[in-house]
Homo-oligomer: A and B are copies of this chain.
Amino acid sequence: MRTLNVALGDRAYPIHIGPGLLARPELLLPALKTPRAIIVTNDRVGPLYLERLRATLEGAGVSVSAVELPDGEAHKNWQTLNLIFDALLEGRCERSTTLIALGGGVVGDMGGFAAATYQRGMPFIQVPTTLLAQVDSSVGGKTAINHPLGKNMIGAFYQPRLVLADTVTLDTLDARELAAGAAEVIKYGLIRDPEFFVWLEDNLDRLLAREPEALAFAIERSCRNKAEVVAADETEQGERALLNLGHTFGHAIETGMGYGEWLHGEAVAAGTMMAAELSRRLGWLTQQDVDRIGRLFERAGLPVWGPALGVERYLELMSHDKKVEAGRLRLVLLKSIGRAVLHGDAPAEAVAAAIVARCR
Protein backbone atom coordinates (compact mmCIF):
# COMPACT_ATOMS: atom_id res chain seq x y z
CA MET A 1 0.00 0.00 0.00
CA ARG A 2 1.17 3.51 -0.83
CA THR A 3 0.01 6.49 1.24
CA LEU A 4 0.05 10.10 0.20
CA ASN A 5 -0.76 12.99 2.51
CA VAL A 6 -2.61 15.95 1.07
CA ALA A 7 -1.31 18.91 3.08
CA LEU A 8 -4.18 21.29 3.75
CA GLY A 9 -3.51 22.47 7.31
CA ASP A 10 -6.24 21.38 9.66
CA ARG A 11 -8.02 19.68 6.78
CA ALA A 12 -5.09 17.50 5.69
CA TYR A 13 -6.03 13.94 4.77
CA PRO A 14 -4.40 10.69 3.61
CA ILE A 15 -4.90 8.89 0.29
CA HIS A 16 -4.22 5.16 0.58
CA ILE A 17 -3.59 3.34 -2.73
CA GLY A 18 -3.30 -0.43 -3.20
CA PRO A 19 -5.10 -3.73 -3.72
CA GLY A 20 -7.67 -5.02 -1.23
CA LEU A 21 -8.08 -1.86 0.84
CA LEU A 22 -11.89 -2.25 1.06
CA ALA A 23 -11.33 -5.12 3.47
CA ARG A 24 -9.16 -3.12 5.91
CA PRO A 25 -11.19 -1.53 8.72
CA GLU A 26 -8.07 -0.12 10.40
CA LEU A 27 -7.75 2.31 7.47
CA LEU A 28 -11.37 3.46 7.67
CA LEU A 29 -11.95 3.75 11.40
CA PRO A 30 -9.62 6.67 12.15
CA ALA A 31 -11.64 8.83 9.72
CA LEU A 32 -15.01 8.20 11.40
CA LYS A 33 -16.19 10.70 14.00
CA THR A 34 -18.75 8.30 15.50
CA PRO A 35 -19.44 4.61 14.73
CA ARG A 36 -22.15 5.53 12.23
CA ALA A 37 -21.83 5.73 8.46
CA ILE A 38 -23.98 5.98 5.37
CA ILE A 39 -22.61 4.61 2.10
CA VAL A 40 -23.66 6.41 -1.09
CA THR A 41 -23.15 4.29 -4.19
CA ASN A 42 -24.88 3.56 -7.51
CA ASP A 43 -26.73 0.64 -9.01
CA ARG A 44 -23.67 -0.53 -10.95
CA VAL A 45 -20.98 -0.35 -8.26
CA GLY A 46 -23.30 -1.23 -5.36
CA PRO A 47 -23.93 -4.84 -6.46
CA LEU A 48 -20.16 -5.34 -6.86
CA TYR A 49 -18.67 -3.74 -3.74
CA LEU A 50 -21.30 -2.43 -1.32
CA GLU A 51 -21.54 -5.61 0.74
CA ARG A 52 -17.76 -5.94 0.94
CA LEU A 53 -17.40 -2.42 2.35
CA ARG A 54 -20.42 -2.81 4.60
CA ALA A 55 -19.05 -6.06 6.05
CA THR A 56 -15.70 -4.43 6.78
CA LEU A 57 -17.38 -1.60 8.67
CA GLU A 58 -19.98 -3.68 10.48
CA GLY A 59 -17.30 -6.15 11.48
CA ALA A 60 -15.62 -3.25 13.27
CA GLY A 61 -18.80 -2.25 15.09
CA VAL A 62 -19.93 0.55 12.79
CA SER A 63 -23.65 1.00 12.17
CA VAL A 64 -24.10 1.29 8.39
CA SER A 65 -26.92 2.38 6.12
CA ALA A 66 -26.74 2.78 2.34
CA VAL A 67 -28.37 4.51 -0.60
CA GLU A 68 -28.04 3.42 -4.24
CA LEU A 69 -28.36 6.09 -6.91
CA PRO A 70 -29.07 5.51 -10.59
CA ASP A 71 -25.75 5.27 -12.44
CA GLY A 72 -24.43 7.89 -14.84
CA GLU A 73 -23.64 11.54 -15.47
CA ALA A 74 -27.21 12.10 -16.68
CA HIS A 75 -28.32 11.63 -13.06
CA LYS A 76 -25.89 14.15 -11.56
CA ASN A 77 -28.67 16.59 -10.76
CA TRP A 78 -30.96 17.96 -8.02
CA GLN A 79 -33.37 15.08 -8.25
CA THR A 80 -30.73 12.45 -7.56
CA LEU A 81 -29.04 14.60 -4.92
CA ASN A 82 -32.37 14.74 -3.13
CA LEU A 83 -32.39 10.93 -2.95
CA ILE A 84 -29.31 11.26 -0.74
CA PHE A 85 -30.91 13.94 1.44
CA ASP A 86 -34.06 11.85 1.77
CA ALA A 87 -31.98 8.85 2.89
CA LEU A 88 -30.00 11.00 5.34
CA LEU A 89 -33.14 12.40 6.93
CA GLU A 90 -35.23 9.26 6.85
CA GLY A 91 -32.28 7.37 8.36
CA ARG A 92 -31.94 10.17 10.93
CA CYS A 93 -28.29 10.62 10.12
CA GLU A 94 -26.64 13.14 12.37
CA ARG A 95 -24.17 15.87 11.61
CA SER A 96 -21.49 13.57 13.01
CA THR A 97 -22.44 10.57 10.84
CA THR A 98 -19.83 9.88 8.14
CA LEU A 99 -20.87 9.82 4.49
CA ILE A 100 -18.83 7.38 2.39
CA ALA A 101 -18.98 7.77 -1.40
CA LEU A 102 -18.35 4.40 -3.07
CA GLY A 103 -18.18 4.72 -6.84
CA GLY A 104 -16.89 6.82 -9.70
CA GLY A 105 -16.69 10.55 -10.15
CA VAL A 106 -20.43 11.12 -10.26
CA VAL A 107 -21.01 9.34 -6.95
CA GLY A 108 -18.04 11.16 -5.43
CA ASP A 109 -19.17 14.57 -6.66
CA MET A 110 -22.75 14.10 -5.50
CA GLY A 111 -21.89 12.34 -2.27
CA GLY A 112 -19.36 15.04 -1.51
CA PHE A 113 -21.82 17.84 -2.22
CA ALA A 114 -24.42 16.15 -0.03
CA ALA A 115 -21.83 15.79 2.75
CA ALA A 116 -20.79 19.43 2.33
CA THR A 117 -24.35 20.70 2.67
CA TYR A 118 -26.22 18.23 4.90
CA GLN A 119 -26.65 20.14 8.16
CA ARG A 120 -23.95 22.45 6.71
CA GLY A 121 -21.31 19.74 6.64
CA MET A 122 -20.75 16.15 7.82
CA PRO A 123 -17.59 13.96 7.76
CA PHE A 124 -16.85 12.57 4.30
CA ILE A 125 -14.79 9.64 2.95
CA GLN A 126 -14.11 8.91 -0.72
CA VAL A 127 -13.79 5.33 -1.97
CA PRO A 128 -13.28 5.88 -5.71
CA THR A 129 -13.77 2.81 -7.89
CA THR A 130 -12.77 4.12 -11.33
CA LEU A 131 -9.34 5.17 -12.53
CA LEU A 132 -10.69 8.63 -13.30
CA ALA A 133 -12.07 9.11 -9.80
CA GLN A 134 -8.92 7.71 -8.21
CA VAL A 135 -6.63 10.16 -10.00
CA ASP A 136 -8.92 13.15 -10.35
CA SER A 137 -12.20 13.73 -8.59
CA SER A 138 -11.16 12.11 -5.32
CA VAL A 139 -8.36 14.62 -4.82
CA GLY A 140 -8.92 18.33 -4.33
CA GLY A 141 -12.25 18.69 -2.60
CA LYS A 142 -14.33 19.69 -5.61
CA THR A 143 -17.94 18.56 -5.33
CA ALA A 144 -20.83 19.52 -7.60
CA ILE A 145 -23.93 18.67 -9.54
CA ASN A 146 -24.88 19.74 -13.05
CA HIS A 147 -27.50 22.28 -14.12
CA PRO A 148 -29.30 21.97 -17.47
CA LEU A 149 -27.33 25.05 -18.59
CA GLY A 150 -23.89 23.90 -17.46
CA LYS A 151 -21.78 21.17 -15.99
CA ASN A 152 -20.70 21.31 -12.32
CA MET A 153 -22.39 24.69 -11.96
CA ILE A 154 -23.60 24.08 -8.40
CA GLY A 155 -21.21 22.75 -5.81
CA ALA A 156 -18.75 23.35 -3.00
CA PHE A 157 -15.12 22.95 -2.06
CA TYR A 158 -15.20 20.26 0.61
CA GLN A 159 -12.32 18.04 1.71
CA PRO A 160 -12.71 14.34 2.53
CA ARG A 161 -11.17 12.99 5.73
CA LEU A 162 -9.78 10.01 3.85
CA VAL A 163 -9.49 8.64 0.30
CA LEU A 164 -9.25 4.87 -0.15
CA ALA A 165 -8.23 3.89 -3.70
CA ASP A 166 -8.57 0.09 -3.89
CA THR A 167 -6.96 -0.93 -7.19
CA VAL A 168 -8.81 -4.25 -7.16
CA THR A 169 -11.99 -2.35 -8.02
CA LEU A 170 -10.45 -1.42 -11.38
CA ASP A 171 -10.60 -5.07 -12.49
CA THR A 172 -14.34 -4.69 -13.13
CA LEU A 173 -13.99 -1.38 -14.97
CA ASP A 174 -14.77 -1.58 -18.68
CA ALA A 175 -12.05 -0.67 -21.15
CA ARG A 176 -13.72 2.55 -22.25
CA GLU A 177 -13.82 3.86 -18.67
CA LEU A 178 -10.23 2.81 -18.05
CA ALA A 179 -9.18 4.79 -21.13
CA ALA A 180 -11.15 7.82 -19.92
CA GLY A 181 -9.20 7.66 -16.67
CA ALA A 182 -5.95 7.41 -18.60
CA ALA A 183 -6.79 10.74 -20.25
CA GLU A 184 -6.49 12.49 -16.88
CA VAL A 185 -3.32 10.55 -16.05
CA ILE A 186 -1.76 11.77 -19.30
CA LYS A 187 -2.92 15.28 -18.43
CA TYR A 188 -0.67 15.40 -15.35
CA GLY A 189 2.31 14.60 -17.52
CA LEU A 190 1.33 17.32 -19.96
CA ILE A 191 0.77 20.13 -17.48
CA ARG A 192 3.69 19.74 -15.06
CA ASP A 193 5.54 16.40 -15.19
CA PRO A 194 7.41 15.76 -18.45
CA GLU A 195 9.21 12.73 -16.96
CA PHE A 196 5.86 11.14 -16.19
CA PHE A 197 4.74 11.81 -19.77
CA VAL A 198 7.76 9.86 -21.00
CA TRP A 199 7.05 7.08 -18.47
CA LEU A 200 3.53 6.88 -19.90
CA GLU A 201 4.85 6.65 -23.45
CA ASP A 202 6.97 3.70 -22.26
CA ASN A 203 4.39 2.01 -19.99
CA LEU A 204 0.92 2.79 -21.30
CA ASP A 205 0.35 -0.79 -22.45
CA ARG A 206 1.09 -2.13 -18.94
CA LEU A 207 -1.37 0.38 -17.51
CA LEU A 208 -4.11 -0.61 -19.96
CA ALA A 209 -3.42 -4.28 -19.15
CA ARG A 210 -4.10 -3.33 -15.50
CA GLU A 211 -0.76 -4.50 -14.21
CA PRO A 212 -1.02 -3.77 -10.48
CA GLU A 213 2.40 -2.17 -10.19
CA ALA A 214 1.88 0.10 -13.18
CA LEU A 215 -1.56 1.12 -11.91
CA ALA A 216 -0.33 1.91 -8.43
CA PHE A 217 2.61 3.92 -9.77
CA ALA A 218 0.45 5.95 -12.14
CA ILE A 219 -2.26 6.59 -9.56
CA GLU A 220 0.21 7.71 -6.92
CA ARG A 221 2.14 9.92 -9.34
CA SER A 222 -1.09 11.48 -10.60
CA CYS A 223 -2.45 12.05 -7.09
CA ARG A 224 0.87 13.50 -5.98
CA ASN A 225 0.87 15.96 -8.86
CA LYS A 226 -2.70 16.96 -8.14
CA ALA A 227 -2.16 17.10 -4.37
CA GLU A 228 0.82 19.43 -4.82
CA VAL A 229 -1.20 21.78 -6.97
CA VAL A 230 -4.25 21.71 -4.69
CA ALA A 231 -2.23 22.24 -1.51
CA ALA A 232 -0.76 25.36 -3.06
CA ASP A 233 -4.08 26.72 -4.27
CA GLU A 234 -7.12 25.24 -2.59
CA THR A 235 -9.85 27.41 -4.04
CA GLU A 236 -8.65 27.66 -7.61
CA GLN A 237 -7.31 31.17 -7.85
CA GLY A 238 -4.07 30.38 -9.66
CA GLU A 239 -2.04 27.27 -10.42
CA ARG A 240 -4.97 24.97 -9.78
CA ALA A 241 -6.65 26.24 -12.90
CA LEU A 242 -3.93 24.41 -14.87
CA LEU A 243 -5.57 21.13 -13.90
CA ASN A 244 -8.32 22.14 -16.29
CA LEU A 245 -6.22 21.56 -19.41
CA GLY A 246 -8.65 20.50 -22.11
CA HIS A 247 -11.63 21.04 -19.82
CA THR A 248 -13.08 24.25 -21.25
CA PHE A 249 -13.20 22.70 -24.71
CA GLY A 250 -14.12 19.36 -23.14
CA HIS A 251 -17.06 20.73 -21.18
CA ALA A 252 -18.39 22.24 -24.40
CA ILE A 253 -18.22 18.79 -25.99
CA GLU A 254 -19.94 17.11 -23.03
CA THR A 255 -22.71 19.70 -22.83
CA GLY A 256 -23.11 19.99 -26.59
CA MET A 257 -23.47 16.22 -27.01
CA GLY A 258 -25.74 15.88 -23.99
CA TYR A 259 -24.41 14.72 -20.65
CA GLY A 260 -23.39 11.08 -20.71
CA GLU A 261 -22.80 10.68 -24.44
CA TRP A 262 -19.08 11.31 -24.18
CA LEU A 263 -17.23 10.21 -21.07
CA HIS A 264 -15.51 13.06 -19.25
CA GLY A 265 -12.04 11.72 -20.02
CA GLU A 266 -12.91 11.32 -23.70
CA ALA A 267 -14.04 14.93 -23.88
CA VAL A 268 -10.88 16.02 -22.06
CA ALA A 269 -8.70 14.14 -24.57
CA ALA A 270 -10.36 15.76 -27.58
CA GLY A 271 -10.41 19.10 -25.73
CA THR A 272 -6.73 18.81 -24.91
CA MET A 273 -6.01 18.32 -28.60
CA MET A 274 -7.82 21.63 -29.27
CA ALA A 275 -5.74 23.30 -26.56
CA ALA A 276 -2.59 21.76 -28.07
CA GLU A 277 -3.56 22.92 -31.55
CA LEU A 278 -4.18 26.45 -30.24
CA SER A 279 -0.81 26.33 -28.44
CA ARG A 280 0.80 25.42 -31.76
CA ARG A 281 -0.92 28.33 -33.47
CA LEU A 282 0.49 30.65 -30.79
CA GLY A 283 3.96 29.36 -31.61
CA TRP A 284 4.49 27.39 -28.39
CA LEU A 285 4.15 23.75 -29.47
CA THR A 286 5.52 22.25 -32.66
CA GLN A 287 3.45 20.09 -34.97
CA GLN A 288 5.62 17.22 -33.72
CA ASP A 289 4.55 17.93 -30.13
CA VAL A 290 0.89 17.94 -31.12
CA ASP A 291 1.29 14.65 -32.97
CA ARG A 292 3.15 13.09 -30.03
CA ILE A 293 0.29 14.00 -27.65
CA GLY A 294 -2.29 12.71 -30.12
CA ARG A 295 -0.43 9.44 -30.52
CA LEU A 296 -0.47 8.74 -26.77
CA PHE A 297 -4.21 9.48 -26.55
CA GLU A 298 -4.86 7.25 -29.55
CA ARG A 299 -2.86 4.38 -28.07
CA ALA A 300 -5.12 4.68 -25.00
CA GLY A 301 -8.15 4.39 -27.27
CA LEU A 302 -9.18 8.00 -26.74
CA PRO A 303 -10.72 10.38 -29.29
CA VAL A 304 -8.40 13.07 -30.62
CA TRP A 305 -11.05 14.90 -32.64
CA GLY A 306 -14.06 16.80 -31.29
CA PRO A 307 -17.59 16.29 -32.64
CA ALA A 308 -18.67 18.70 -35.39
CA LEU A 309 -20.97 20.89 -33.30
CA GLY A 310 -20.07 23.99 -35.30
CA VAL A 311 -17.61 26.56 -34.04
CA GLU A 312 -20.31 29.02 -32.92
CA ARG A 313 -21.87 26.38 -30.72
CA TYR A 314 -18.48 25.59 -29.19
CA LEU A 315 -17.86 29.24 -28.38
CA GLU A 316 -21.36 29.69 -27.00
CA LEU A 317 -20.95 26.69 -24.69
CA MET A 318 -17.46 27.74 -23.65
CA SER A 319 -18.71 31.19 -22.65
CA HIS A 320 -20.66 29.52 -19.80
CA ASP A 321 -17.45 28.07 -18.40
CA LYS A 322 -16.53 28.87 -14.79
CA LYS A 323 -13.12 30.04 -15.96
CA VAL A 324 -14.68 33.02 -17.73
CA GLU A 325 -13.85 36.24 -15.88
CA ALA A 326 -15.13 39.70 -16.81
CA GLY A 327 -16.37 38.18 -20.07
CA ARG A 328 -12.87 37.03 -20.98
CA LEU A 329 -12.19 33.41 -21.81
CA ARG A 330 -9.17 32.12 -19.90
CA LEU A 331 -7.72 28.96 -21.42
CA VAL A 332 -5.14 26.49 -20.18
CA LEU A 333 -2.57 26.08 -22.93
CA LEU A 334 0.80 24.37 -23.29
CA LYS A 335 4.15 26.14 -23.49
CA SER A 336 5.71 22.72 -23.98
CA ILE A 337 4.97 19.09 -23.11
CA GLY A 338 5.16 19.22 -19.32
CA ARG A 339 4.45 22.94 -18.87
CA ALA A 340 0.95 24.45 -18.94
CA VAL A 341 0.02 28.13 -18.60
CA LEU A 342 -3.22 30.03 -18.07
CA HIS A 343 -3.80 32.40 -20.96
CA GLY A 344 -6.47 35.07 -21.27
CA ASP A 345 -5.38 36.73 -24.50
CA ALA A 346 -5.71 34.13 -27.22
CA PRO A 347 -7.08 35.91 -30.34
CA ALA A 348 -10.69 34.88 -30.99
CA GLU A 349 -9.79 33.85 -34.55
CA ALA A 350 -7.05 31.52 -33.35
CA VAL A 351 -9.42 29.89 -30.83
CA ALA A 352 -12.01 29.39 -33.56
CA ALA A 353 -9.41 28.06 -36.00
CA ALA A 354 -8.09 25.56 -33.44
CA ILE A 355 -11.60 24.25 -32.82
CA VAL A 356 -12.28 23.90 -36.54
CA ALA A 357 -8.94 22.16 -37.09
CA ARG A 358 -9.64 19.55 -34.41
CA CYS A 359 -13.26 18.72 -35.29
CA ARG A 360 -14.38 15.89 -37.50
- A interface list, Cβ under 8 A from B: 34, 78, 82, 85-86, 89-90, 92, 94-96, 113, 116-121, 142, 144, 147, 149-150, 153-157, 235-236, 319-320, 322, 324-327
Contacts and interface: CB of A to CB of B under 8 A. Distances in A.
A156 B92 contact: no
A75 to B, nearest CB: 16
B320 A119 contact: no
Contact of A150 (B89, B120, B156, B326): B89
A86 B148 CA distance: 9
Given A85-B147, A118-B154, A121-B235, 16 more contacts: A34-B325, A78-B78, A85-B154, A86-B149, A89-B147, A89-B153, A94-B327, A95-B322, A95-B325, A116-B156, A117-B154, A119-B154, A120-B142, A120-B144, A120-B156, A156-B156
A223 B237 CA distance: 32
A196 B172 CA distance: 65
29 contacts: A34-B325, A85-B147, A86-B149, A89-B147, A89-B149, A89-B150, A89-B153, A89-B320, A92-B320, A94-B324, A94-B325, A94-B327, A95-B322, A95-B325, A96-B325, A96-B326, A113-B117, A116-B156, A117-B117, A118-B153, A118-B154, A119-B153, A119-B155, A120-B142, A120-B144, A120-B156, A120-B235, A121-B235, A156-B156
A322 B149 CA distance: 33
A95 B150 CA distance: 13
A117 B114 CA distance: 12
A82 B113 CA distance: 16
Contact of A82 (B78, B96, B155, B319): B78
Task: Determine how many copies of this chain the complex contains.
Answer: 2
Given A147-B89, A150-B89, A322 B119 contact: yes
A158 to B, nearest CB: 9
Contacts of A144: 120
Nearest to A327: B94
A153 B95 CA distance: 10
A120 B85 contact: no
Contacts of A324: 94
Contacts of A327: 94
Name, among A82, A85, A113, A320, the residue most crowded by chain B CB atoms within 10 Å (CB to CB). A85
A34 B119 contact: no
